[in-house]
Structure 1
Amino acid sequence: MSATQTLSAADPHALGKVDARTWIAVAAGMLGAFMAVLDIQITNSSLKDILGSLSATQEEGSWISTAYLVAEIIVIPLTGLLTRVFGLRAYMMGTTALFLVFSTMCGMAWNLESMIVFRMLQGFTGGALIPMAMTLVMAKLPPSKRATGMAIFGLTATLAPAMGPTFGGYLSEIYGWPSIFYINWAPGILLMMGMAYGLDKEKAKLDQLFNADWLGIGFMAMGLGCLTIFLEEGNSKDWFDSLFIIAFATMAVIGILGWVITSNTRAQPFVNLGLYSHRNFLVATTLSAVMGMGLYGSSFLLPLFLGQIAGYSPMQIGEVIMWVGLPQLFIMPFVAKLSSKIDNRLLCSFGLLLFGGSCLMNAYMDATTGYDQLLWSQVLRALGQPFIMLTLSNFAMNGIGPKDMPSASSLFNMTRNLGGSIGIALLATALTKREQFHSARLGESITAFSSEVVQRLDVLTQSFINRGMDPGTASNMAMKAIDNLVRREAFVMGYNDGFLLVGWILLACIPILWLSDKVKSPSGGGGGAH
C-alpha cells in the first residue's frame, strides 16, 4: 500500500466500521507512545541507585534524563520524513526494535558516559513512537472513530508522566534499577507483533532520504537540541552566569531561526512549519506547551515535595501519584462522547479550570501534608486532564489535510515535550529562588532577642543534654535543629509558590483558548468542525 493510500482513510467521507486488524495496529501504536513517554521520567525515582552504581554525582546524573529528552525532541519532527522513506509499518517496527536494544544497553551501562550515550540512542528511537501513535489515529480511523482513538492517545500523554516515577520506583525497589529498562521488552514485542499484523507492507522510498532538506534538519537538530540542554541544565549552572549556558542559548536561537528560514525557502520542507499560520493549530500547540508544563511540572514538584519534606519512599509517593491516573481510565470515554456533542472550547475550559484549581489546592501545603490531604487535588487533576488533552488534539487536527497530518502530529507533540522542559526549568528555578527568599524572610524573625526562639533553644538544648551530650554540643545541635526547621518551612513555601505559578498559568490560558474556532469531534454522521 502506498503512502497516499495509507492516508486515504483520513478522508472525511471514509466513514463506517473499523476492522479488528486496524484497531490492533492503533492499539500497538498507543502502547509505543505510552512506553516512550513513560521512559522520559522513569529514571527519576531510581536516579539515586543508578548514580551509586555508576559512581556519578547528582549534577552529572541530570544528563541521563537530558540526553533522552534532547534525542527525543530532535527525532519527533523527523517522523513524517522517515515514515515517507521507510513506510509506516517498517519504520515503527524498526525503531521499536532499536529502542529495545538500546533500553537493554542502558540496563547494562558500565559508567556514566555509556549510560548517557545509550539513553540518547534510546530517546532517538523511542521519540518517534509518540507522534506516530497520533498519526495512526488520523490515518487509519474514519472521522466517526477518531474521538475514541484520540481519547486513548490522550491517556498515553497524561498517564505516562504521572506513572513514570511511580513505576520506576516500584521496579527498582523490588528488582533493582536495570529492570526499569528491561521491562520495555514486554510492551515492545507486543507493539511489533501488532504492527506486523495490523499494517500492510509499503515500498521504501530511499530517494526521499537523499533528497531531504538536510540543511533544515541540521538547523532543527541544533536549535531544539541546544534549547533542551539550555532548559534542562540552566538552573544547576545559574543560567546566564555560565558561559556553557550562554553558548547553548546562542546556538538554540541560531538553529531555530535557521530552521524557520530554510523551511520557508524550500518547496518540500521535511516538516511543514506553515501549519502555525492556522489559528486553531497555533492555539492548540500553544496550549499543548502549557499542558506539557502542567503535566511534567506537577509530576516534578509533588514527588520532590513528598520525598524531601514528608520523607516518603518511592513506593509511598507512587500511592499518592496513582490518583492522577486511575480516574482518567474511567473519565476518558465519557469525555470522548461529550466531545462530539459539545463545543470543545467549553470542555477544554472546564479541564483547564479543574487542572488549574487542583494546582491551587496544592499551593497551601504544610510540612504535615501527605496522602490524605493530597488525595482530592490528585483526583481533581485526573478529572481535568482528559478534557484538555482530547480537545487540544481535536483543535490541532481540525482542517488539516491528509498530507500534513504527520507534520501536524509531530509539531503538536514536540511543543508538548518542549513545554514540559520549560515547565521543569521554570519550576526548578522558582523553587531555588523562592526557597532562598523565604529562608531569608524567616531568618529575619529568628533572632536571639526573640523570647520564643530563646525558649525553643533552651528546650532543644535540654533535650540533647538528656540524651547524653555535653552542653556545648547540645547548644550547637539545638541551633542546627532550628536552622533545619527554617529551611524546611522555606522549602514548603517554595513548593507552594511553584504550584501557585502553574495553577495561574493554566487558568490564564482559558481566554487564549477562545481565540480558536468552534470545534466538535466528528460523530457518526459528519465532519469535524461545526
Structure 2
Amino acid sequence: MSLSATTAAAIPPSVVPRSEYPVVGVAAVMVGAFISTLNARLTTQGLADIRGALSLGFDEGSWISTIFSAAQMLVTPAAAWMSTVLSTRRVLLWTGAVFAAASLPPPLVHDYDTLIALQFVRGLAVGAFIPAALGFVLRSLAPQWWIWGIAAYAFRFVFSQNIGNAVEGWYSETGHWEWIFWQNAVLTPLMMLLTAVAMPRRPVDRELLRRTDWAGIVYAGVGFALIYARLDQGNRLDWFNSGVVTGLLLGGGLLVLAFLVHEVRAEYPLIPLRVLAQPNVAVPALLISIYGFGATATSFVLPDYMTRIQGLRALQIGDTLNSIALPQFVLVPLVVLLLKQIDARVLLVFGFSMIAIGSWINTGLTHDWASGDFTVSQLIEAVGLAFGLTALITFGVANITPPQAAAIATTIQIARFLGSEIGSALIQTFVRVREQVYSNLIGLHVIAGLPATEQATTQFAGPFGSRATGMGDPAAQGTGVLANLVRREAYVLSYIDAFWLIAWVSLAGVLLILLLRPPPPNPLIPSPGRS
C-alpha cells in the first residue's frame, strides 16, 4: 500500500456526489486552470505596457506581477482544503465572481497603492482555481475520468505558458492592453457556468471544518508566499545584497520550518508528512520542480534571446512559441492513451529526455538564429513538456487515495509554483552573471590601440562620418557599435550556457525517475509488478 491505514483514515472523507456531467467538469477544470496560468503569464509579459499606460517606474511595476503571484501562493494551502469543506462548486463560484469583478478596475486606476491592492485580491481569487479544480477531479469524477482531468491540468500549463506571448503581443500591437485584465470578465463567467452545470451541490462539511488545520494553512501560505516574493525580486535586487530579499527569505524560511514542525505534531495535519516522505510521492514533487526549471528554456531563455538579440516584438515571439503550444492539442490526449498501455515511468524518462535534447540542440545557437532555426528544437520540447507533465502528475496521483486529494493538490501546486519560480530566478541570474563574465573575457581581446581594434572602430565609424547624423563624433559612435557587438556575443554565449544547464538538470531528473517504484493498483495507470 502507498498510504498507511492510519494516515488514510486520519480525516475521513465525506460522501461526495459524483458529477453527472464529467466532460463539462473536465472543461471547467481546464478553463479555470487556463485562466490562472494565462493571467500570471500575461501580467509578467505585459508589464511594459502596464507600466507605460499607468506611468509607473520599473521598480514599481515589478511588484505588480510579484504581488499577484505571491497572493496565489498565499491562498494555495487553503484553497484545496476549503474546497473539500465548502465544496469545489462554492469555492470556484465565489472566487470566480471576485476575480471577474476585481479585474475590471485596474486599467482605470492611477493610484499605485490601489492597483497593488487589486492585484492582491485578484491573486487570492484566481489562486484558488487550480487546487480546487484538482481536488474536484479526484473527489467528484468517476475514476475513469480522473486521467482526463489531470490531462486538462497538464494541457493548460504548457499551452497557456507558451501562448501568452502571442496573446500579449496582440493586445500590445492593437493598443488594447486593458484586455490583459478585462479578458477575465469574459473567460471567468464561462468557467463559472461550466462549474455550475458540472459540479454537484453539497452541504458544508462542518466536521471537517472543525478539524481544519488553521495554523498549518497560515504558516504554509504566508511562508511560501514570502519565499516566492523573494525569488521573484531576487535578481532585480541582487539577492543577499538587498535587505528586502534577505528579510523575505528569513521570514518565509522560519514560517515554513514552523509549518513542518506543526504538521508533525498536529492531530489533523493539512499535509500528512508521512505521505510526502514516500519515494513515490516525494520524488514526483521534486520532479515537478525540475520540470519547471526545464520549462524556462521556452518561458525565459528563448524569448529573451529573441527580444535582446533579434529585436523581435512579443507577437513575433509568440509565433515561434506557438510551435510548442498548438501541438499540445494532439500530444496531451496521445499521452493519456499511452499511459493506459505503457508504464508511466517509461513515458517520464522519454519526456524529460526530450526536454534535454531540445535544449541541447539549442546549444548550437549563434546571433544569426531566427525563428525558423528553433523549429526542430521547439517541436521536440513540445513533446517533452507534454509527456513529462502529464505522466508526472498522473503517476503522483496514482500513489494516493481520494482522502488525500486536498493534500496532493496543495503539494502539486506549491511544487509547480516554486519550481517554475526557482527555475526562472536561477536562469535569469545565471544569464546575467554569465553575460558579465563573457563581456569581460571578450573585452580582454578588444584593446584600444591594437591594429585590429582600430580597424574595426574605423570600419564601424564609417556610416556615421559619411552623413550628418547629429550623433556626435563618428569615432565614438564606432566604438559604441563595437561595444554593442561584444555585449551581443556575450549574451549569445550566456544563452548557450543556459541551454546546457537546462539540459543537464533535465537529465538529472531522468536519474531521479529511476528511484520510483511501481504504483499500487489504481484506476489510472497500469501497475507493473503489482498484483
Describe how 1:63-462 pairs up with structure 2 within 5 A. 63-205=63-205, 209=209, 212-296=212-296, 298-462=298-462
1:4 is the counterpart of 2:46: no
1:13 counterpart residue number:
none
**3-state SS of paired residue (1:367):** coil
**3-state SS of paired residue (1:445):** coil
Indicate if the aligned counterparts of 2:457 and 2:479 stay in contact, CA closer than 8 A. Answer: yes
1:58-103 CA distances to partner (integer Å, 9 max, x unpaired)? 2321111111111111211212321133222111111111111122
Indicate if the aligned counterparts of 2:394 and 2:524 stay in contact, CA closer than 8 A. Answer: no
Structure-2 change in CA distance of 1:528 and 1:170 (3 Å) = farther
| Distance across 1 between alignment mates of 2:334 and 2:368 | 36
1:487-516 CA distances to partner (integer Å, 9 max, x unpaired)? 111112122222221121011110101101
2:6 counterpart residue number:
none
**3-state SS of paired residue (1:234):** helix
> How many pairs were matched up?
519
| Distance across 1 between alignment mates of 2:72 and 2:363 | 32
| Distance across 2 between alignment mates of 1:471 and 1:52 | 27
| Distance across 1 between alignment mates of 2:111 and 2:421 | 26
Structure-2 change in CA distance of 1:126 and 1:3 (3 Å) = farther
Structure 1 window deviating more from structure 2 (390-399 vs 250-259): it is: 390-399
1:14 counterpart residue number:
none
Indicate if the aligned counterparts of 1:297 and 1:427 stay in contact, CA closer than 8 A. Answer: no
**3-state SS of paired residue (2:212):** coil
| Distance across 1 between alignment mates of 2:210 and 2:134 | 26
Describe how 1:506-517 pairs up with structure 2 within 5 A. 506-517=506-517
| Distance across 1 between alignment mates of 2:485 and 2:232 | 30
Indicate if the aligned counterparts of 1:344 and 1:519 stay in contact, CA closer than 8 A. Answer: no
Structure 1 window deviating more from structure 2 (67-76 vs 267-276): it is: 267-276
Amino acid in the other structure paired with 2:232: E
| Distance across 1 between alignment mates of 2:242 and 2:200 | 51
| Distance across 1 between alignment mates of 2:516 and 2:201 | 38
| Distance across 2 between alignment mates of 1:182 and 1:78 | 27
1:229-270 CA distances to partner (integer Å, 9 max, x unpaired)? 111111111111112221111111101000111111111123
Structure 2: gaps spanning 5 or more residues? 1-11
**3-state SS of paired residue (2:444):** helix
Structure-2 change in CA distance of 1:297 and 1:207 (3 Å) = farther
Structure-2 change in CA distance of 1:84 and 1:405 (3 Å) = closer
1:491 is the counterpart of 2:491: yes
Indicate if the aligned counterparts of 1:359 and 1:503 stay in contact, CA closer than 8 A. Answer: yes
1:359-396 CA distances to partner (integer Å, 9 max, x unpaired)? 12222322221111011111111111111111111221
Per-residue deviation, 1:526: 7.8
| Distance across 1 between alignment mates of 2:520 and 2:454 | 65
Amino acid in the other structure paired with 2:227: L
| Distance across 1 between alignment mates of 2:478 and 2:527 | 70
| Distance across 2 between alignment mates of 1:39 and 1:296 | 17
Structure-2 change in CA distance of 1:483 and 1:118 (3 Å) = same
Structure-2 change in CA distance of 1:28 and 1:389 (3 Å) = same
**3-state SS of paired residue (2:76):** helix
| Distance across 2 between alignment mates of 1:218 and 1:334 | 40
Structure 1: gaps spanning 5 or more residues? 10-17
**3-state SS of paired residue (2:245):** helix
Indicate if the aligned counterparts of 1:147 and 1:522 stay in contact, CA closer than 8 A. Answer: no
Amino acid in the other structure paired with 2:198: G
Per-residue deviation, 1:438: 0.4
TM-score (norm 1): 0.92
Amino acid in the other structure paired with 1:277: A
Structure-2 change in CA distance of 1:480 and 1:524 (3 Å) = closer
Amino acid in the other structure paired with 1:252: G
2:468 counterpart residue number:
468
Amino acid in the other structure paired with 1:131: P
1:15 counterpart residue number:
none
Percent identity (aligned): 27
Structure-2 change in CA distance of 1:293 and 1:199 (3 Å) = same
Amino acid in the other structure paired with 2:77: P
Amino acid in the other structure paired with 1:45: Q
2:35 counterpart residue number:
35
Indicate if the aligned counterparts of 1:3 and 1:87 stay in contact, CA closer than 8 A. Answer: no
TM-score (norm 2): 0.92
Structure 1 window deviating more from structure 2 (283-292 vs 198-207): it is: 198-207
1:118-155 CA distances to partner (integer Å, 9 max, x unpaired)? 12211111111112222222223333333333222210
Indicate if the aligned counterparts of 1:354 and 1:383 stay in contact, CA closer than 8 A. Answer: yes
Indicate if the aligned counterparts of 2:76 and 2:131 stay in contact, CA closer than 8 A. Answer: yes
